[in-house]
Structure formats: structure tokens, C-alpha cells
Amino acid sequence: MGHYVVGRLRHAPVSLPYFIPMPPFISIIGTMGAVIVQREPMEDRRTVLEVGIAGPLAGLVVAIPLLLYGLSLSALGSPTPEMLASGYLQEGNSLLYIAAKWLVFGRFLPSGGLDVQLSPVAWGAWIGLLVTMLNMLPIGQLDGGHVAYALLGRRADYLAYATIGVCVVLGILIPQNYTLLFLPLMALVFGPRHPAPLNDISRLSGRHIALGIVGLCVFVLLFMPAPLMLVQP
């Protein structure tokens, strides 16, 4: 919704958000966020950047406090025999998630066979981090694609194809790493290239460059090489 609100404030031709359901085999997540259709090119790179960064920042303002609260309701433990026998979903670790677990539990996790057994609140907040991470990949009209194009212009196309390649490699090399294989497929369907704004000449101000760097830092803090793995017996 942050994407939509800022888009309207900047008079960008954006639609209401269309929420994307997750594939059935991981339907426990429910959604991959939302798509906002861009009816016409945006005005300039500044608008592209502001619209792109608004959604992730708004999401993190909600997700981080909920994550810390949810972790305080969670307990440490190991997979139970029932989980090992039937299989279970294992959430990935990002720098932000590791730091949050350290703040709550005073130790780096997973460690010594122990990890957090997430409470429902913590699980929902972690899903928020996952969706934000996927949306911040610098591909096409994902929010990360908006930020990348605002900073790099047409050179962002090379970054998009490189990102797709890295996702495919990680998805193949890391067992049960289906999430990163699904996203490049979706990106190729919707298009990995970002459309140019009407004014593709004006440079970004120092404030906008700093905002773009914030977006880069958000992606680094949220990136998970293996976001969600199905651990099978």
C-alpha cells in the first residue's frame, strides 16, 4: 500500500494493488504481496525511486516490531521426531533476522542444533520479511527494479539478468530451495526489463541517491540465499 499511496501523491499512473497468491505447495504463506499496474510511464527517475522504495519501507515499519514481539513469544528447540518423520518448512536466515534473534535470545541462531520455534506472530512477521526481500530483487517492475532503474538507468537491465542467473544458480545448488527458482520464472513471464520514465535525463538529487542507498541496504539486510526450504525425511 505504501507503493500505491506514494504513487498517488506523486500523481503517478498506478492502479490499486492486486494481491498475488502463493503456489499451492507452499500455500501456508498465503501471498507474495501485491502487483500494482503502471498504466503509463512515470514522470522521472525521482518518481520511480520514491514509488519503488515506499512499499518496502512501509512494510518493514510494521514487520520489524512484530518480529521482535513474535520472537519474544517463541521458544528455542530442535525439530521433533514427528517433524523429522513427516518433513517440515525451514525458514531462511537473513542478516536482519539473525540480528533480531540475537536481540531477543542473546545468541546467534541456529546454533548447536537449536533454533527458534516460531510463534504465529513471529512466523507472520518473517513472511513479511520474505515478501519484502523478493520484492526488492532488482528485476523489472519489482520495487527493487524501480530502485535499480532510478540509480542505474538502462544499465539496470544487466543487473536484472544477472540477478535472475544468481537466483537460478542458488536454487539449483541449495537442495529444496524452490522459492528462488519460482521468482525468476515469474520475472521472465512479467518481463525483466524496467520501462523508461517520460523524463529519463534529469539526474537524481543527493537526497534521492541517499534514498537509493537505503534501498540497497534494505536488500542486503533481507537477502536470504535459501528463503524457504522444504526439509523432507
Q: Is residue 229 part of a domain?
A: no
* Cβ partners under 8 Å of residue 131, min gap 6: 31, 32, 33, 59
Bigger pLDDT: 73 vs 24? 73
Q: Is residue 233 part of a domain?
A: no
Q: Is residue 31 part of a domain?
A: yes
pTM of the model as a whole: 0.86
Q: Is residue 205 part of a domain?
A: yes
pLDDT digits (tens, 9 = 90+) for 96-135: 999 999 999 999 998 888 899 999 999 999 999 998 998 8
pLDDT digits (tens, 9 = 90+) for 209-226: 999 999 999 999 999 999
Q: Which domain holds residue 153?
A: 2-223
Q: Is residue 154 part of a domain?
A: yes
Model pLDDT, residue 38 = 66
pLDDT digits (tens, 9 = 90+) for 152-166: 999 999 999 999 999
Q: Output the CA–CA distances (angstroms, integers) from residue 44 to 8, 55, 145, 198, 213, in the order listed.
A: 15, 18, 15, 6, 18
pLDDT digits (tens, 9 = 90+) for 24-71: 655 566 666 666 666 677 888 998 999 889 889 999 999 999 999 999
Report percent pLDDT > 70 for the chain. Answer: 83
Q: Is residue 217 part of a domain?
A: yes
Q: Is residue 55 part of a domain?
A: yes
Q: Is residue 77 part of a domain?
A: yes
Q: How many domains does the chain have?
A: 1
